[in-house]
Amino acid sequence: MQGTAAAFDLARFASPARILMGDVLPDQAQRGASRVNKLLGRAICESRQVDCLDPAALGAFLEPVDVLVSAVPYHFQPQVLPVALASKTSMVDMGNDTADTFAALERDAEAKANGVAYVPDTGLAPGLVNSLAHYFIEQLDATDTVRLYCGGLPQHPKPPFNYMLVFSLEGLIGEYTDETIVLRDGKVQAIDTLIELETIYVEGLGELEAFATSGGTGTAPYTLQGKVRNYEYKTVRYPGHCEKMKLFKDHGFWGLEPVAVNDAKVVPRDLFCRLMEPHLVDPFDHDLVVTRATAWGTRKGKKVKLQAEILDYHDEATGFSAMERLTGFSSAIVAAEIGNGGIPPGCHPYEKAMTGRRFVEELLKRGFNVKFTEEEG
For residue range 116-156, list pLDDT tens digits in order.
999 999 999 999 999 999 999 999 999 999 999 999 999 99
| Domain endpoint, select from 74, 101, 119 | 119
Judgement on whether residues 66 and 166 belong to the same structural domain of the protein: no
Residue 48's DSSP bridge partners are 22
Beta carbons within 8 Å of 326's beta carbon, 6+ residues apart: 124, 128, 289, 291, 310, 312, 368
> Is residue 340 in some structural domain?
no
In a domain, 334, yes or no: no
pLDDT band at 174 (very low <50, low <70, confident <90, very high): confident
Distance CA 38, CA 2 (A): 17
CA dist list (Å): 98 to 181, 210, 245, 333: 9, 21, 23, 22
SS3 state of residue 158: coil
CA dist., res. 325 & res. 6, Å (int): 8
- Quote the distance between the C-alpha of residue 75 and its chain's center: 14
Q: Determine, yes or no, domain membership for 156.
A: yes
Checking if the pLDDT of 109 tops 90, the result is yes
Say whether both 168 and 300 belong to one domain. Answer: yes
pLDDT at residue 73 in the model: 86
Domain-ending residue, one of 119, 148, 181: 119
Query: Given pLDDT bands bounded at 50, 70 and 90, which one contains residue 167?
Result: confident
Please give the average per-residue pLDDT across 182-204, as a whole number.
96
Residues 153 and 106 in one domain: no
Give residue 162's domain range.
Answer: 128-322+355-376
> Are the C-beta atoms of residues 80 and 58 closer than 8 Å to each other?
yes
H or E segment and range at residue 306? strand 302-313
Region 269-274 average pLDDT = 94
**For 52-71, what is the mean pLDDT?**
97
* Residues 167 and 88 grouped into a single domain: no
**Rounded Cα–Cα distance for residues 129 and 296 (Å):** 16
Q: What is the mean pLDDT of the chain?
A: 95
Q: Do residues 273 and 145 share a domain? A: yes
Q: What is the pLDDT of residue 64?
A: 96
| Structural domain contains residue 342 | no
Residue 377: the pLDDT is: 75
What would the mean pLDDT of 23-49 be, rounded to a whole number? 97
Question: In CATH, what number is assigned to the domain containing residue 254?
Answer: 3.30.360.10
Per-residue pLDDT band for 283 (boundaries 50, 70, 90) equals: confident
CATH number of the domain residue 15 falls in: 3.40.50.720
The one-letter code for the residue type at 208 is: L
User: What pLDDT score was predicted for residue 170?
Assistant: 84
Stated as kind and residue range, the H or E segment containing 60 is helix 55-62
Cis status, amide bond into 160, omega within 30 of 0: yes
Note whether 103 and 171 are same-domain residues: no
What mean pLDDT comes out for the span 16-36?
Answer: 96
- pLDDT at position 327, please? 96
> Are 251 and 318 part of one and the same domain?
yes
Q: Is residue 258 part of a domain?
A: yes
Residues 172 and 105 in one domain: no
CA-to-CA dists, residue 171 to 15, 67, 75, angstroms: 32, 24, 9
| 96 pLDDT higher than 90 | no
Q: Which of 335, 316, 338, 348 is nearest to 71 (CA)?
A: 335
> What is each CA distance from 181 to 120, 124, 129, 356, in whole angstroms?
16, 17, 15, 21
User: Same structural domain for residues 79 and 223?
Assistant: no
pLDDT at 168 over 80: no
Asked whether residue 146 falls in the same domain as residue 33, the answer is no
pLDDT at 165: 87
Are 179 and 217 within one domain?
A: yes
Long-range contacts of 186-190, Cβ-Cβ distance < 8 Å, separation of 24 or more: 186/225, 186/226, 186/229, 187/225, 188/221, 188/222, 188/225
User: Are 190 and 294 in a shared domain?
Assistant: yes
Residue 235 lies in a domain: yes
Q: Domains in the chain: how many in total?
A: 2
Task: Compute the 3-state secondary structure of the chain and give helix, strand, coil in percent, each to the nearest 5.
Answer: 35, 30, 35
pLDDT of residue 169: 86
345 found inside a domain: no
Residue 199 has pLDDT above 90, yes or no: yes
10 Å Cβ neighbour count for 1?
A: 16
Last residue of a domain, one of 119, 148, 166: 119
Say if strands 67-70 and 90-93 run parallel, antiparallel, or are unpaired: parallel
- 75 pLDDT band, cuts 50/70/90, is confident
The verdict on residue 243 lying in a domain is yes
